[in-house]
Each structure stands twice: as structure tokens, then as C-alpha cells.
Amino acid sequence: MTPIQSSTSLYSDAQIRQYLLTVGYWSIKDIGDSKICTLPLPPPTLHTLRQLNHLHLVSFPFDCSAMHYTDNHKMDVTAEGVFQRLVVDRLGGSYCFGLNTLLLEVLKGLGFLAYSGGAGFESRFFTVQDMTDCVHMILFVQIPGNKTEETWLVDVGYGVTGLIRPVLLSDSTENVVMGSTSTELHRLRKMSSPEGKDPSTQWWRFEKLHIFPGEDWRSKPSSAWECNYIFSESPFHAADYQHANHLLNTVPQGSPFWGFVIAIRYFTLPDVGEEEFSVDDGSSKVEENHPDYSDIQYGRYTLNGNVVKKTIGARSETRPLLLTERERIAVLKDVFGVVYEDVDGAEKNVCGRDAAIESGLVAGSMALSFF
């Protein structure tokens, strides 16, 4: 890839400091009697990239519930809107467009060389794929001053089985990174441009592999790797994501988000007992036990319709089905950190939609294979 040009962040230094405080980059001990505005911003290094990827992942849930529980039934994925919801108001999370937009603007503000791209599926799963080339958002990041001009793929907004940590944009055989645990692996493979797509840019396939504990991934055939999504190196822009977001919000059955309330929250494994059904903030002892942030393992909580699961590696534990909207709204707050202060209003807003528990459609299987 050619060098990425420096670009200006939409966020001010004050906003970036507020973000860093929200995700736990600074502790109360770090701050002491200092004013936030006097604390130095982290340098644009690979260590910082991995650290912020981790903090972002465990701080903000993947969450599409605003599509159903708000009165306008829209996900606000603008840089300003997502900053207000996630950082200022701390009301929950977003999905790929919002989560990756927030991180992109922070990275640019810290001096990273970065831009965003669009990804899609090799097979046709949803009708919105016929309407846009961008059903998912990804980030390309370079470290300033790195003479090798290495590019890192970053994605904090895919959800289950997606990229958990930055991966080098390379199809080297050994360029394999761990997913949420050591039983899940990710890699990249170059591919020819799909029919009808731009052949002047390099295309890539992002793949996943699941193995048993102790199994050597090198012994697995290439056919064992499954494709999560494909993408090119072409840049995409805010207007592309706004268009795709509008389609996801308005096209009936156009995506799994239309008929399901979906939320995912990650937690670090060393810091929570496997039998405890609670949310961990991902901060305790991480710096001490994983100084380069490259080998942290995660569990996750998943809400899919009216089903709540806790997953660690290949093991899953399912809670009793949620029977009412009030129960689901409470779980969103208690387990996922997604807050609706006007519970009565949220119940009213989801009434009559396919995603409503009373619709009887929420226990379907369409979303399960993706989330």
C-alpha cells in the first residue's frame, strides 16, 4: 500500500482527552491533582494503537438497539453524534459505522496516518448488498515515521468472530492473529477483484479459523478457513457510511438489524471468573499481564433478539429467554451498559416492529450465524 497522507481529525484535543478518560486510558492515580488538559496525549505508536483498540473494544458495546428503542428509529453514526452518545452521555454503543468512526477520528487526532474503507460479503445474504458496496466499515492505519510503511487493518465494529486486534495488511503465511481466544484465529489473503468491482485496487479476504485447544493451526488445510468479509484498499467516506446506515435503518428485512435487537460486549478473561455473569471493565492488571496488548483473550456477552449468552472460547452459557421488553431493556443496561432512561418511551417505540419481543419473530436464526 502507498503511504497514507496525514489528515485532520474532526475531534479537538479536548474531545480526545475526554475519550481517553472515558475508555480508561488514564486512571484517577494518573490524573492526581492535574487538570486533564495538561496531560500529554499518547504518541502514535504500535503500542498505543493496540492499547486503544483494546480499551475501545471493552468500553463500548456493539449495539443496534437505537434503531428500535428511539422515537426516530435511526442510528446516529456521525462523528459528532457517536461522540455525544458514547463518550459524553455514556448511553451505550453503536455498530460498525459508529464504533469505527469514533476510533478513526481519535487515531487521526493523535497523529496516526489513517483512513476508512468499506467491506462486504462474498455471498449475497441481505438485500442491502444490492444497494451499496459498503455494508461494513474498516480502518487502515500506518505508524508515522515507520520506514517500512506497514499498514494495519483495524476493526472494532464487526461483532462476533470479527477482528479483535490490529492485523498487518499482509498475506504472509505466518501473519495470523488470535481472535477472542486462542481457539479462534484470523488472517488476510489477497484475491482478484470480484466481477463488476474496481480492478485497479488490491482486494483482500478476511478469514477466520476455529480450532480445538492445543491444536496447531498450521496443520489445517486452507479450505478450513472461512471468509468473514472482503474489501479493497479504496477509501470510503462519511457520505458512503451515511447512505449505508440509512439503508440498514429503513429497508425492511434488509439486514439482520431490522428484525433483531443485537448487542455484544467483550470482557478480558483474566479479570472475571468464568462462572460470574457480570460485566468486567477490562482494565485490571491488563498492562501488567499483557504489556504489548497483543495476546489478551476475551469472553463476550451477546444479546440476539431475546437470547442472552456468555461465551468463552467454544463454551457458551445461555440465560433464560427474555419475555418482555422491560426485561430486555434492563439486560441492555445491566449487562451491556446500554441505557434507556425513559423505559416507557422505549417500550412504546419498539411496539409493532419486527424486533419487538411480542412480534414472535425474535427467536429466528438469521442473525445467529453472524452474531
Question: In the predicted model, what is the mean pLDDT of residues 341-348?
Answer: 98
Average pLDDT, the chain: 91
Is pLDDT at 278 greater than 70 in this prediction?
no
Q: How sure is the predictor about 59, in pLDDT bands with cuts at 50, 70 and 90?
A: very high
Q: How far is CA 66 from CA 92, 216, 238, 271, 328, in A?
A: 9, 42, 20, 30, 13
Q: Give 174's contacts (C-beta < 8 A, 6+ positions apart).
A: none
Among residues 366, 371, 369, 331, which one has the least CA distance to residue 69?
331
DSSP per-residue letters across 191-245? EPPPTTS-TTS-EEEEEEEE--TT--GGGS-GGG-EEEEEEES----HHHHHHHH
The side-by-side arrangement of strands in the sheet containing 184-191 is: 167-168, 151-154, 136-142, 113-120, 226-232, 203-210, 184-191, 176-178
Q: How sure is the predictor about 284, in pLDDT bands with cuts at 50, 70 and 90?
A: low
Per-residue model confidence (pLDDT) at position 371: 45
Rounded to two decimals, the pTM is 0.93
The side-by-side arrangement of strands in the sheet containing 298-304 is: 62-63, 262-268, 298-304, 307-312, 315-318
Q: Which of 42-56, 59-73, 251-265 has the lowest mean pLDDT?
A: 251-265
Question: In the predicted model, what is the mean pLDDT of residues 267-281?
Answer: 56
Per-residue model confidence (pLDDT) at position 226: 95
More confident: 317 or 148: 317
Q: How far apart (Å, rounded) are the C-alpha atoms in residues 366 and 371?
A: 9
Per-residue model confidence (pLDDT) at position 37: 84
Is pLDDT at 282 greater than 70 in this prediction?
no
Per-residue model confidence (pLDDT) at position 56: 98
Please give the helix or strand (H or E) that residue 47 lies within, else none.
helix 46-59
Q: How far apart (Å, rounded) are the C-alpha atoms in residues 99 and 358?
A: 29
- Span between the terminal Cα atoms of the chain, in Å: 31
Across the chain, the runs of DSSP E, i.e. the strands, are 62-63, 113-120, 136-142, 151-154, 167-168, 176-178, 184-191, 203-210, 226-232, 262-268, 298-304, 307-312, 315-318
Q: Which of 19-23, 68-72, 159-163 has the lowest mean pLDDT?
A: 159-163
Is pLDDT at 44 greater than 90 in this prediction?
yes
Q: How sure is the predictor about 27, in pLDDT bands with cuts at 50, 70 and 90?
A: confident
Go through the domains of the chain in sequence order and give each one's CATH number. 13-255 (3.30.2140.20), 262-270+292-370 (no CATH)
Side-chain half-sphere CA neighbours of 4 within 13 A: 28
| Structure-block grid coordinates of residue 358 | 411480542
Per-residue model confidence (pLDDT) at position 363: 57
Question: In the predicted model, what is the mean pLDDT of residues 160-172?
Answer: 95
The size of the chain, in residues, is: 371
Q: How sure is the predictor about 272, in pLDDT bands with cuts at 50, 70 and 90?
A: very low
Is pLDDT at 276 greater than 50 in this prediction?
no
DSSP H helix total and E strand total for the chain: 11, 13
Q: How sure is the predictor about 273, in pLDDT bands with cuts at 50, 70 and 90?
A: very low
Strands 307-312 and 136-142: unpaired
More confident: 68 or 214: 68
More confident: 239 or 271: 239
| Structure-block grid coordinates of residue 19 | 475519550
Q: How sure is the predictor about 30, in pLDDT bands with cuts at 50, 70 and 90?
A: confident
Among residues 221, 156, 210, which one has the least CA distance to residue 184?
210
More confident: 272 or 135: 135
Q: What is the pLDDT of residues 137-152, one digit of tens each?
A: 999 999 999 877 899 9
